[in-house]
Amino acid sequence: MSDQVKNIGVSRAEVLATSAKILEKFGTPKIYADSVAESLVQAQEAGHASHGIIRLIEYTNSIEKKVIDPAAVPTIVRETGGTVVVDGHWGWGQIACKFAVEVAAKKAKEFGISAISISSCNHIGRLGEYIETLASMNLISMMWCNADPAVAAFGGKDRLFGTNPLAVGIPSNDVPVVIDLATAASAEGKLRVARANGSKIPLGTVIDKDGNESTNPDDFYTGGAILPFGGHKGYCVSLMIELLGGALSGNHPSMNAGYSHGYGTVLIAIDPDKFFGTGFFKDEISEATKAIRSTTPANPERPVLVPGDVENNERKKNKAAIQISEAIWSSIKELSA
């Protein structure tokens, strides 16, 4: 097992066209195929290969197994003031989330705060995409979802929780603060990428079926589990997402009898203009982030960053051509043939 990954540069246009072609090939209407492909390419550009085009392999398998209805249209099934329940009808999670973002923004502008949950929702991709969109509208946002069991409870070895990502978007006068993380030691997609590339993973990421820590990503896929990040503290955050994501969406916490599959998603948007004004808020955030970036680094070669800076740096690197693992791109080209 090697730690060396050979990347190649592929133009954005080719990655986008190839991705959309695959999605259409498997029955996705063109407008949805273009939208989902755009989400995957944006994740790839931001340096999150785990949520990039490698997902096309999983997605097309899910269509064939009737898990994803590629033509399903999300709808509002319950609405009370600033709260809305969206039914994704087991279509594309990205399409349901983009619809929820539109609803959340409109409600937040009206009521100051909105809370949207999404039921019957498939994989939603990179959460950072949605909170970045809301930040561009001068809205604060928080988003999370539960998912299929993959993560052990602190001290346990059985799969109980999803990787349960959490994201927070905070607008400023410059680039927004974008906090986006799995509450597991690793997103499952990163294990998928490591396995595809034949790479090892850090110790403390997964345990095998016997509960032993391992550096082999295959051990997760042969009955092991991912560990929560940050020990018992990360376990608590993951538990919060599992309970609130599962129950508020009607999709159930993943250890409950009623859970079958899917991503119980919650999105909250806040309009800072309803507090002390948008201008004041953004000035405050900008002053704080400037101070953080200006702090003296412990290592002069590694400046202090604000969440979102890494992704912005990756986008600059990928502007001329998107860097993709040669092994993964080969699989995607085969899928499109």
Residues 278-309 have pLDDT tens digits of: 999 999 999 999 999 999 999 999 999 999 99
Percentage of the chain lying above the pLDDT 90 cut: 96
- pLDDT tens digits, residue range 36-58? 999 999 999 999 999 999 999 99
134 pLDDT band, cuts 50/70/90, is very high
Helix (H, G, I), strand (E, B) or coil at 144: strand
Helical ranges in 112-208 per DSSP H: 127-136, 188-197
- pLDDT higher than 70, residue 264: yes
- pLDDT higher than 70, residue 3: no
Backbone angles phi, psi at 117, to 5 degrees: -120, 155
147 pLDDT band, cuts 50/70/90, is very high
Residue 320: the pLDDT is: 94
- pLDDT tens digits, residue range 209-247? 999 999 999 999 999 999 999 999 999 999 999 999 999
**CB-facing half-sphere around the CA of 227: CA atoms within 13 A:** 23
Q: For the chain, how many residues are written?
A: 337
Residue 42: the pLDDT is: 98
Return all residues near 127 (Cβ < 8 A) that are at least 6 apart.
Answer: 143, 144, 145, 165, 166, 167, 180
95 pLDDT band, cuts 50/70/90, is very high
Residue 242: the pLDDT is: 98
Residue 5: the pLDDT is: 80
Strands of the chain (E only): list them: 7-10, 75-80, 83-87, 113-119, 140-145, 151-152, 159-161, 165-170, 177-182, 206-207, 213-214, 225-226, 265-270, 322-325
205's tokens: 């990421």
φ/ψ region of 112 (left if φ > 0, alpha if ψ in -120 to 50, else beta) reads left
Residue 1: the pLDDT is: 52
3-state secondary structure 207-232: ECCCCCEECCCHHHHCCCEECECCHH
Q: Return the residue matching tokens 């209407």.
A: 29
Instruction: Summarize the confidence of residues 107-111 as an average pLDDT.
Output: 98
Rounded Cα distance, 151 and 207, in Å: 10
- pLDDT higher than 60, residue 2: no
C-alpha separations of 194 from 84, 94, 126 in Å: 38, 24, 18
Rounded Cα distance, 323 and 94, in Å: 23
Residue 307: the pLDDT is: 98
Residue 330: the pLDDT is: 95
Rounded Cα distance, 209 and 226, in Å: 11
Residue 46 burial (C-beta neighbours within 10 Å; 0-12, 13-18, 19+): buried
Instruction: Summarize the confidence of residues 80-84 as an average pLDDT.
Output: 98
177 pLDDT band, cuts 50/70/90, is very high
Residue 189: the pLDDT is: 85
Percentage of the chain lying above the pLDDT 70 cut: 99
Residue 109 burial (C-beta neighbours within 10 Å; 0-12, 13-18, 19+): middle
Q: Domains of the chain, with CATH numbers?
A: 7-277+315-336 (3.30.1370.60)
